[in-house]
């Protein structure tokens, strides 16, 4: 394989949308699994919204269509999770949405005491699950990801896990977990933060019951973009947080709460218009792209990266992500004892990934904006830094607040 072959492949790639993002041509950005880059229309949308706000003030809810914006953006997201638009809503943060989802699931299984989750999952998932258990008098049982299926027993009210692990990129078999849980009467709540926008998702086919995720990673919605919540069509249950925006007629200002239809009932306060505008632009970039094609490109990009690591750096780093493409997300993690300074050196030399304690170098391969040549050049830069020991400069060991 030659780099020139990859240049030609980039030019002909039907999925690559690099030109739709504000990325410098010489930047190798492999951190879209932490914060996706802005699409080109996002800056203009936010600026236009600020001008509209200043000109129209409160009337902009009607004149600028702000009141319908959350419906519009939720509708754009729906195909990326295999959903009907009525089943998904943009609202709140992933943590708040997970709290709502787990409370709903536990209340639907009042005689079952256990919330089953994965050991070592993303901290917010564990914190929220334990908080729900304390609130409702339930018990949390944590097992290794690979043991989730065998751990689903008759006492389990709900199984919750990240579809793709944030540290290793390991991908769970969602269909098997969904079917196993339903066989014993348990419900399933997925965290799709490291999945949506990078892999094919079909929540109904997975036999999922509820799902949550964020919009600032592979969906490129911007830092702190609002999260989303999906609920299966058959789960017509009240929301946990019964806010006025989740009312069937919020501007009737009725005394009694009457839930809106579908997932809309899980909204509570007014939608974050400044956060929805860049997300709306970002989701437009996905139009016309099939989830299966995202999946295939993510698997091919990560496979190329692993092959190049094996060829050039097998003695210097350890690949900790699964080798089988269908068992990993759009991410590869490498182990190195000095992962933090190595990553800081990489960033200074134009390859942006990130670090996770204690010893992981983490690289995300967003199908829409990662070039084949980025993969090649990232490995070449890492090889240069490790063989030259340039990363040992003390400046690279200085800690950042966000590692």
Structure tokens at 87: 């089943």
pTM of the model: 0.96
The DSSP 8-state label assigned to residue 260 in this structure reads: P
Which pLDDT belongs to residue 167?
A: 97
44-284: same fold as 3-39+290-391?
A: no
Structure tokens at 8: 């030609």
Looking at the domain 44-284, which fold is it? 3.40.640
Side by side, which strands form the sheet with 156-162? 88-90, 228-231, 210-213, 187-191, 156-162, 114-118, 139-143
Catalytic residues: 122, 191, 216-217, 362
Confidence of residue 168 (pLDDT cuts 50, 70, 90): very high
User: Where does 205-272 have alpha helices with state H?
Assistant: none
CA dist 367 and 376 (Å) reads: 15
Pick among 3.30.420.10, 3.40.50.920, 3.90.1150.10, 2.30.29.30: CATH of 3-39+290-391: 3.90.1150.10
Q: Note the pLDDT tens digit of each residue in 202-219.
A: 999 999 999 999 999 999
Task: Determine how many CB atoms are found less than 10 A away from the CB of residue 41.
Answer: 18
CA dist 111 and 186 (Å) reads: 11
Confidence of residue 234 (pLDDT cuts 50, 70, 90): confident
Q: Note the pLDDT tens digit of each residue in 267-280.
A: 999 999 999 999 99
The answer to whether 361 and 386 have CB atoms below 8 angstroms apart is no
Instruction: Indicate whether 237 pLDDT > 90.
Output: no
Q: Give the start-to-end residue ranges of the domains of the chain.
A: 3-39+290-391, 44-284
Write down the residue that tokens 């792209």 correspond to.
289
CA torsion sign, 402 to 285 to 166 to 181?
Answer: positive
Which pLDDT belongs to residue 352?
A: 98
């Amino acid at each position: 394989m030659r780099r020139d072959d990859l240049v030609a492949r980039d030019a002909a790639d039907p999925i690559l949308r690099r030109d739709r993002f504000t990325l410098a041509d010489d930047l190798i950005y492999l951190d879209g699994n932490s914060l996706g880059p802005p699409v080109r229309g996002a800056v203009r949308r936010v600026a236009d919204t600020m001008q509209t706000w200043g000109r129209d003030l409160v009337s902009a809810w009607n004149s600028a269509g702000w009141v319908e914006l959350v419906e519009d953006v939720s509708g754009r997201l729906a195909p990326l999770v295999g959903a009907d638009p009525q089943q998904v809503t943009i609202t709140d943060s992933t943590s708040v949405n997970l709290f709502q989802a787990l409370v709903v699931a536990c209340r639907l299984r009042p005689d079952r005491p256990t919330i089953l989750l994965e050991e070592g999952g993303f901290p917010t998932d564990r914190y929220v699950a334990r908080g729900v258990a304390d609130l409702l008098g339930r018990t949390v049982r944590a097992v290794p990801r690979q043991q989730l299926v065998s751990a689903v027993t008759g006492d389990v009210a709900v199984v919750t896990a990240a579809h793709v692990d944030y540290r290793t990129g390991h991908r769970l078999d969602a269909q098997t977990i969904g079917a196993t849980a339903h066989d014993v009467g348990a419900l399933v709540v997925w965290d799709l933060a490291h999945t949506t926008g990078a892999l094919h998702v079909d929540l109904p086919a997975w036999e999922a019951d509820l799902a949550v995720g964020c919009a600032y990673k592979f969906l490129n919605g911007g830092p702190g973009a609002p999260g989303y919540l999906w609920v299966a069509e058959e789960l017509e249950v009240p929301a946990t947080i019964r806010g006025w925006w989740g009312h069937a007629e919020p501007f009737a200002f009725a005394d009694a709460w009457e839930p809106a239809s579908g997932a809309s009932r899980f909204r509570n306060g007014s939608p974050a218009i400044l956060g929805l505008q860049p997300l709306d632009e970002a989701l437009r970039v996905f139009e016309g792209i099939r989830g299966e094609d995202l999946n295939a490109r993510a698997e091919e990009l990560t496979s190329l990266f692993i092959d190049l690591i094996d060829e050039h750096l097998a003695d210097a780093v350890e690949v900790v992500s699964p080798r089988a493409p269908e068992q990993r997300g759009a991410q590869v993690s490498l182990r190195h004892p000095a992962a933090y300074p190595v990553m800081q050196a990489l960033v200074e030399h134009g390859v942006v990934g990130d670090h996770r304690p204690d010893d992981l170098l983490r690289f995300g391969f967003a199908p829409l904006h990662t070039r084949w040549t980025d993969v090649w050049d990232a490995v070449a830069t890492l090889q240069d830094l490790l063989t030259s020991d340039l990363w040992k400069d003390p400046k690279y060991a200085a800690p950042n607040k966000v590692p």
